[in-house]
Amino acid sequence: MSDTAFDPRDFRRALSQFPTGVTVITTLDAEGNPVGVTASSFNSVSIEPALVLWSIDKGAHSLSAFENAKYFAVNVLGRDQVTTSNNFASRGEDKFANASYSEGLGGVPVLDDYAAQFECKTWAVYEGGDHLILVGEVAKYRYADTVEPLVFARGSYAISSQHPEMINKPSGDSGTQIEGDFVKDYLLYLLRAGYQRFSANLYPKLQQECDVSPEEWRILARMANNPTQKISDLSAMVMQPEVALRETADWMVEKGMVVYADPQTLQVTDKGAELALSLQNLALREEAALLSHLSDEQTADLKSTLQSLLEKLD
């Protein structure tokens, strides 16, 4: 591929196909003030010695603090810490105002809530194009087995879950399922398996018939009946951090689906509204096909029951 054909935003989209965890990296600046940023570039490097790495954009406001830090901490976030991730991904002045934390190695702030945590001494800092790569030697670590990690994939927050094929695998050498296997009758499994299988059928059709990605579909679906939306509101609705949502929105602007009414507000175009209606009809057709073996009464009961469960969980 030639340089002129290489689209940086499209490249980021390709990279987003690789799911990652979500972390908040913390340290102290030269004045001893706490500094933190959200990052998904965290990875392991070595077991002996115990080394990890992450990268930071050279345009980041906190670049100098991390580049010159003797210590930093990697706070791997749990599934209930979306707000924490968004907070540290913002450009707010005091990101720690609403964060509960204590002092760790070298006085570096460590979050009280986490899925895993690694306190590091800076091992090396390398040039990495438009980023700096920071390698840390892990001095202390801890993790919470009961906390499900937060995941980031295709520009949106997600959660990790066991793949249905793993649950459906035959047990033992006989190749038969254990009789009375409670998992296959367990609500959590049924809900997850149902969502995964339905979306696996729906999402490719959105792409094939309407040239719309799942991320674009989520935005248009939310704006179909409310064509003007604040980006901050949409971010919470579609579970995308603002920076990722703006990237998706930029693509949608280029495709003529939406426009920026102002820097903080998106507005659906006539083309976008027509497309949203087509997407709704497609989704409803897929839903109708799935529910066709149920009576109208059974379908109404199913939806009412699920809505009641969601209200209860809220």
CATH of residue 194's domain is 1.10.10.10
Is residue 192 a part of any domain in this protein? yes
pLDDT one digit per residue (tens) for the chain, 314 residues: 445 467 777 888 788 888 899 999 999 999 999 999 999 999 999 999 999 999 999 999 999 999 999 999 999 999 999 989 988 988 766 888 888 999 999 999 999 999 999 999 999 999 999 999 999 999 999 999 889 999 988 878 887 776 656 655 555 444 445 455 676 778 887 888 888 888 888 888 888 888 888 888 889 989 888 899 999 888 888 888 888 888 889 889 999 999 999 999 999 999 999 999 999 899 999 999 999 999 999 999 999 999 999 898 87
Tell me, yes or no, whether 192 and 214 share the same domain.
yes
pLDDT at residue 4 in the model: 47
Q: Is 186 found in the same domain as 146? A: no
Cβ atoms within 10 Å of 279's Cβ, excluding its own: 21
Do 135 and 196 share a domain, yes or no? no
Domain that holds residue 173: 164-313
Same domain, 78 and 173: no
End residue of a domain, out of 99, 132, 153: 153
Q: Is residue 159 part of a domain?
A: no
Question: Is 276 inside any structural domain?
Answer: yes
Same domain, 123 and 174: no
Of 153, 186, 205, the domain-final residue:
153
If asked whether residues 133 and 219 sit together in one domain, one would say no
Q: 168 and 307 share a domain?
A: yes
What's the CATH number where 70 sits?
2.30.110.10
Using the 3D structure, point to which of 121, 153, 185 is the last residue of a domain: 153
Q: Based on the fold, state whether residues 92 and 222 are members of the same structural domain.
A: no
| Pairwise CA distance, residues 275 & 278, whole Å | 5
The structural domain count of the chain equals 2
